[in-house]
Chain A
């Protein structure tokens, strides 16, 4: 691995994004608009907004980065640039870390913006420090990126890649505890939920939003999210091959 090549890759990914201002606006504006909608929807029930607001804030980057990464990586595979890169001294680790750095940076901007809006204008109570919410949002973004990278290996077209969003992401959102608390779910649903990384991301966010002390469970959640990210990156690296059939 080489720092120069990793940074060059991150810069390249950011430049690609830079030439697509519409995507940047969508990435930054859509979560804000959604958060405003949720706030308006529960205008009479601030407690509901309080319980939804912080988890949503942490989940937006997860979904966004999953989509953006899976499409970018698919393009890289289809256009032949990945094949060209694989004939150069670029290590697979350089490529994946470069991607992770670039999208983590985008996620930081995204999460900071939604946080400023939510904690400032919309009156969301951060519970614990708002900076921890942003940090967790970034961790979720990198998790989404890693899963997107992995998922892109199974798509042949951009249509398929977009369909992987509901396939990989929606079940995790349904089962993470956001809609129905996990202990109220049927046992088999709980079992599935227990192996989905977003469950732990949500749990950590919910703990951040509450007044209760964070406790060991919070740190276990964070560790699991980081572990799942590393695992997805390793699996993703396994799908980027120098030699192909």
Chain B
């Protein structure tokens, strides 16, 4: 399998604090790779580095064989920030129209993504009047407009109800089956089982990578929650 995202000895310093300490990472093409880790472990910073908006201190990030942040990548990589980054004072359709114009997507594609994320009937509603889940899906829709080869999604399911979460994960797998590479973060460990591959980030370091099955086997734990706790306890023990 080929790597779509390749991270080498990535170090990021924010303020006076080093938040990523030499990350090494491969994200394989056409799969859903989960980036898991507690709040503050550096997930968002790592994702920002991959989409090329993070100032990095050292190391390299390449996406689709090009250095992250290369102008031509901007049309090939979709990014959904953690907070729904859409215009609250525009309607659903006006938001998508604008992002479509910028990404070079057609009007037909706008209608398509509205249907994909299940926002039909809400096209003329102001974003500010949407529920949290609807807003998150609008933000996701904007990232899907140009049918990107790589999708970087920062906690896309946070605060959503279980049905919606299941549907979204199903949708991510449909995209992956169609060839899109997804890199999805979550701090909810029970979402880990929905991923093809996992990266566990802990205090700015990659603690472990592998498939959910391989992690269970490695730790001998019954569920991933217990597996992660065992791994984290191991890491903490090694440091102290």
Contact = CB atoms under 8 A, between A and B. Distances in A.
B80 to A, nearest CB: 8
Interface in A62-112: 79-81, 83-90
A189 to B, nearest CB: 40
A83 B81 contact: yes
A1 to B, nearest CB: 12
B166 interface: no
Interface string B66-79: 00010100110101
B51 to A, nearest CB: 5
A85 B53 CA distance: 10
Interface stretch (A8-16, A128-136, A160-168, A222-230): A8-16
B104 A89 contact: yes
A153 to B, nearest CB: 16
Interface stretch (B93-101, B111-119, B229-237): B93-101
B206 interface: no
Give the most central of A11, A16, A89: most B CB within 10 Å.
A89
B89 interface: yes
Contacts of A80: 81-85
B142 interface: yes
Contact of B53 (A4, A9, A243): A243
Contacts, number: 79
B100 to A, nearest CB: 9
B69 A243 contact: yes
B90 A12 contact: yes
A5 interface: yes
A9 B87 CA distance: 12
A84 B85 contact: yes
Please classify the interface of chain B as helix (H, G, I), strand (E, B), loop, or mixed, using the class held by over half of its residues: mixed
Contacts of A245: 14-15, 55
Interface residues of B, number: 35
A54 B87 CA distance: 37
A217 interface: no
A87 B90 contact: no
A79 B88 contact: yes
B81 A12 contact: no
B52 A242 contact: yes
Contacts of B81: 80, 83-84
Contacts of B35: none
Given A4-B101, A8-B98, A243 B90 contact: no
Contacts of B209: none
Contact of A244 (B55, B94, B102): B55
A66 B142 CA distance: 30
A19 interface: yes
A187 interface: no
A20 B128 CA distance: 13
B211 interface: no
A157 B75 CA distance: 31
B86 interface: yes
B85 A83 contact: yes
Give the most central of B14, B77, B79: most A CB within 10 Å.
B79
Give the most central of A81, A85, A86: most B CB within 10 Å.
A81
A5 B195 CA distance: 36
Contact of A243 (B14, B52, B98, B102): B52
Interface string B153-185: 000000000000000000000000000000000
29 contacts: A8-B97, A9-B98, A11-B98, A12-B98, A15-B90, A19-B126, A79-B83, A79-B88, A81-B86, A83-B48, A83-B53, A84-B79, A84-B99, A84-B142, A86-B53, A87-B51, A87-B53, A87-B74, A88-B74, A88-B99, A88-B103, A89-B103, A90-B102, A242-B53, A242-B69, A243-B53, A243-B54, A243-B69, A244-B55
Interface of A: 4-5, 8-9, 11-12, 15-16, 19-20, 79-81, 83-90, 242-245
